Structure 1
């Protein structure tokens, strides 16, 4: 349990701090990590999360998956797609409060499925996904003339969101938070919808004009292959 929280925290934290080491907009390695994590996250969602959510024979899970998918679309109206590694700044520099709030909520929700079973593969997928997301957050903060201390503070805030979501969901699934454990699969349905939107958007935006180059294709196939290999090993 502790190692999951530490991995999630330090992946985002160190990914965000990397903004002080790398300058400019050409971050090819981060884009490859983003493509790999998007493919990996999509595969894990299809192979693990969706079957687990339907295991309780709740026919409304599909409705909540749609809700999660649409919710992420709304969320991105405030986050400017920073979850995908986007680093755009529009208009005059100002404090990006909506981006920080949206990204933190996104990180919190992403940590929630980790309480359901081992989900070790999903931990790595989320951790990888948060590296470019945290880097994009740090870039946006610096471009909006935030101080180094303020930037580190908000990167840290984002880094603790996924572990916080994990512990909250763990309490939820064991009945530690009222009787909400009865609705755990529906909550997971919302998270699945978010994962589906995030991962497919990453894949569709993998390159200029939505085309894959050879390196990104390899990254995507590697992400799917590792997830599938882990799944087959568990059978």
Structure 2
């Protein structure tokens, strides 16, 4: 964790490509249809746009760490607070769709998606001479955000938190917008001349395939 080896960077990129494709597949196959199944479906598109723009805003502070990007920071820069707040908020929102049982397959995709982000965060902390206890604290805080999002979302969807369950689909719209931004950015960035390497293409196709398998398995179960 404390020293991210350069020879692992290609593997992390492939994991990121797989998870991005998987999250995109899950969003299109599961989250969007569910969000539009409610009575307030006319407004869902607005909240998807809000989520998309919110992620654009968050990345002004996270600097793409959620994509596995590693940037060298210098003394005097406001780190890790800007990055940590935006990254934790991002992870919190990503955990929210896990509240519905039929979305358990998201755990796999989100976990994979967070691996490169955790490595990038740890690498930045190491570069900025943070001590190991501090690094463990920040990584643990980041790791807790998605489960926290799940529990808050679960409470909302079951009506046990503040009577805001009526807004659940709209909140999911925001999450969908974030997922769409994250997944498409992962899929289309770092492609030279708009060409995707064979390894990345295989990883993307595998991610879509796993999402489709989950979709058809759930369809047959119903």
TM-score band, normalised by shorter chain: over 0.9
Look up the match of 1:153: 137
Look up the match of 1:180: 164
Are 1:106 and 2:90 an aligned pair? yes
Are 1:66 and 2:49 an aligned pair? yes
Query: What TM-score, normalized by structure 1, do the two folds share?
Result: 0.88
- How many residues are treated as equivalent by the alignment? 217
Q: Is contact 2:52–2:177 with CA below 8 Å preserved after alignment?
A: yes
Look up the match of 1:116: 100
Q: For residues 78-107 of structure 1, give each alpha carbon's deviation from its aligned partner in whole angstroms, at most 9, with x where no partner exists.
A: 000111110012444653210011100100
| DSSP-derived class of the 1:27 partner | helix
Q: Is contact 1:87–1:140 with CA below 8 Å preserved after alignment?
A: yes
Look up the match of 1:78: 61
Matched residues in 1 for 2:162 and 2:187: separation?
Answer: 38
Matched residues in 1 for 2:59 and 2:193: separation?
Answer: 21
Query: What TM-score, normalized by structure 2, do the two folds share?
Result: 0.93
Look up the match of 1:51: 33
1:25 to partner: Cα distance: 7.2
**Structure 1 88/186 Cα, relative in aligned 2: closer, same or farther at 3 Å?**
same
Look up the match of 2:20: 38
Find runs of 4+ consecutive structure 1 residues off by over 3 angstroms: 90-95, 206-210
Q: For residues 208-232 of structure 1, give each alpha carbon's deviation from its aligned partner in whole angstroms, at most 9, with x where no partner exists.
A: 4543111110000000011012111
Q: Name structure 1 gaps, 5 residues minimum.
A: 1-17
1:233 to partner: Cα distance: 1.9
CA RMSD of aligned residues (A): 1.5
Q: For residues 87-141 of structure 1, give each alpha carbon's deviation from its aligned partner in whole angstroms, at most 9, with x where no partner exists.
A: 0124446532100111001000000011123212111110110011111111111
1:171 to partner: Cα distance: 0.5
Q: Name structure 2 gaps, 5 residues minimum.
A: none
